[in-house]
Structure 1
Amino acid sequence: MDSLSTPQSPSSAAAARPDHDAVAAAIERRLQAEREKAAADAAARGSAFDIRNHEKRQEFRRMIDPGILRPNPRPLALEALQTLLKLAQNIIDHPDEAKYQRFKPTNPNIKRLLVEPRGTLEYAVALGFNPHIENFQPFYVFNTRRMEDLKIGAAMIKEALDRELVKEDREQRRSAEEKAAHEAAVAKVKQAFYDDRKGRALIDERERVTRAAAAANRAAGSSASPAIADYRPKRRMPGSGHTLSGETIELDDDDDEDGEGSVSVAPNHPDDDE
């Protein structure tokens, strides 16, 4: 008699099938673990990179300040740093173009900005430029194996310029404000001086007018005062009198045309005295 296999119950069959949710969760955990490991590796590489280049960044910072900023006039130092950054950025942006990988130290602008100032040519060498002679002409040519140094040096220049240009802008604003305040103070003093002169002129004019009016009043008062009276009588009183010589004067009461009476003189006879 053939033996028959015992059929599985539904519960045991369900237990034998894989749990898809559990499998998906396990896969997700594995992927997450791989992502975390990759991030940790990247962070470790970044940390190692930072550690390896920390000294290089510090070296470039020291070459900028105090190496370039302190011994040179500030405007010249800032312009020289901008020129160095332009040289580095041209190579970073155009790594395959040879024309950006060299400069001639006898060029007037290069000589003024990179050769004559203190510390600038040394910075170019630290970026990766080395002196060469071609056809008896001096050049500084970039070594393409120094690209990492070039990028670090350019980053340090950007860092310094961001800091120094802000300070420069603040200093220029402060100087402009001080100049404006000084000019305003000078203008105020001048205006006060002009106002004082104008006020003094008005006062002098009022005093002059006052003196002129007083003089006119005095002159008018003098001309209006009564003249000395003439006490001589306009008419002679009628009557008679004697002169020292003894003559008798008779004054008539009748007026003539000019308002005076007529006068008659009678000789004095000796007999009259007796």
Structure 2
Amino acid sequence: MDPESAPQSPSAANARPDHDAVAAAIERRLQAEREKAAAAAQSSMFDGKHEKRQEFRRMIDPGILRPNPRPLALEALQVQLLFNSLQLGDHPGEVKYQKFKPTNASIKRLLVDPRGTLEYAVALGFHPQVENFQPYYVFNQRYMEDLKIGAAMIKEALERELVKEEREQRRRAEEKAAHEAAVAKVKQAFYDDRKGRAMVDERERTVRAAAAANPNRSSASPAPSTIADYRPKRRMPGSGQTLSGEVIDVDADDDEGHEDADAALHSEDDG
């Protein structure tokens, strides 16, 4: 009996996976994950911080990224705003992280002069004060939650923009390499052409110099050196008929002509 045609036991039949059941289980798991993600998004929108996050996002783009040179905007976000926010969030009790002096050269270049950067610092909770007749921006502890949200939005923007910047730098590097390769190819072709022309000019100069050194040899026709050179050129072999009906054998005529020419040359040599 064929083993494949033999009836299977109930235990073997139950062991076979039900593809419909597996597909249904996968679909249920995917649906649960989708519902979980949607619930998380819905919760984030109604947690009381969604509007604040959106406000900080708008202050970064278009507020800071668009009106400023891109390298300056990224440096301001990465070096100054993010540094101050994270350090202050990690060390809320340290006074040195709770204020900055707007007249400092680095602070002025990265935090005061660019458009939108000082406004962002104010939104984080830094407000202007005068201490010992010196201007400062001092952080108010009541805005700690805003500071954390603002710092998170800076991190989010930097992760996105730095990836774009890296991609753009790679594209510019590839374009530069392609341009340099094309320029090198054109230069090599130019050098090869000049080298070829120089070789041709050198050969022509050599020929002219040889002709100038022996003008008689260049103008005279070369003299024959062997008996074969005196022999007239043979015509095409074969036979034919003239208009008068006379039959001409070219091979016979040529052989007789060559024999006569050879005899004449030998007689001259004997004489």
TMscore range, shorter length: 0.5 to 0.7
1:164 paired residue number: 161
Amino acid paired to 1:146: Y
Residue by residue over 1:213-243, the C-alpha shift from the partner in whole angstroms, topping out at 9 and shown as x without a partner, is: 34445434789x9xxxxxxxxxxxxxxxxxx
1:178 paired residue number: 175
1:118 paired residue number: 115
Q: Tell which deviates more after alignment, 116-125 or 169-178.
A: 169-178
Residue by residue over 1:64-122, the C-alpha shift from the partner in whole angstroms, topping out at 9 and shown as x without a partner, is: 00000001111111111111000001111111111111101111111111111110000
Instruction: Choose from 76, 80, 95 the match for 2:76.
Output: 80
The number of equivalent residue pairs is 183
Q: Which has the higher strand share?
A: 1
Amino acid paired to 1:68: I
User: Do the aligned partners of residues 209 and 113 (structure 1) sit closer, same or farther apart at CA in structure 2, a change above 3 Å counting?
Assistant: same
Deviation at 1:163, TM superposition (A): 0.8
**Structure 2 CA distance, aligned partners of 1:49 and 1:102?**
32
Matched, 1:69 2:65: yes
SS in 2 for 1:71: coil
Identity of aligned residues (%): 77
Larger Rg: 1
TM-score (norm 1): 0.62
Residue by residue over 1:239-274, the C-alpha shift from the partner in whole angstroms, topping out at 9 and shown as x without a partner, is: xxxxxxxxxxxxxxxxxxxxxxxxxxxxxxxxxxxx
1:51 paired residue number: 47
**Structure 2 CA distance, aligned partners of 1:61 and 1:221?**
90
Amino acid paired to 2:52: K
User: Do the aligned partners of residues 222 and 126 (structure 1) sit closer, same or farther apart at CA in structure 2, a change above 3 Å counting?
Assistant: closer
**Structure 2 CA distance, aligned partners of 1:75 and 1:116?**
14
TM-score (norm 2): 0.62
1:131 paired residue number: 128
SS in 1 for 2:137: strand
**Structure 2 CA distance, aligned partners of 1:221 and 1:113?**
84
- Which one scores higher on RCO, CA 8 angstroms, separation ≥ 6? 2
**Structure 2 CA distance, aligned partners of 1:193 and 1:219?**
40
Q: Tell which deviates more after alignment, 62-71 or 174-183.
A: 174-183
1:12-23 equivalences under 5 Å are none
CA RMSD across the alignment? 2.6
User: Do the aligned partners of residues 189 and 123 (structure 1) sit closer, same or farther apart at CA in structure 2, a change above 3 Å counting?
Assistant: same
Contact 2:211 2:218 (8 Å CA) reproduced: no
Deviation at 1:49, TM superposition (A): 7.8
5+ long unaligned stretches in structure 1: 1-39, 226-274
SS in 1 for 2:138: strand
**Structure 2 CA distance, aligned partners of 1:49 and 1:66?**
22
**Structure 2 CA distance, aligned partners of 1:205 and 1:150?**
80
5+ long unaligned stretches in structure 2: 1-35, 223-271
Instruction: Choose from 149, 166, 185 the match for 1:152.
Output: 149
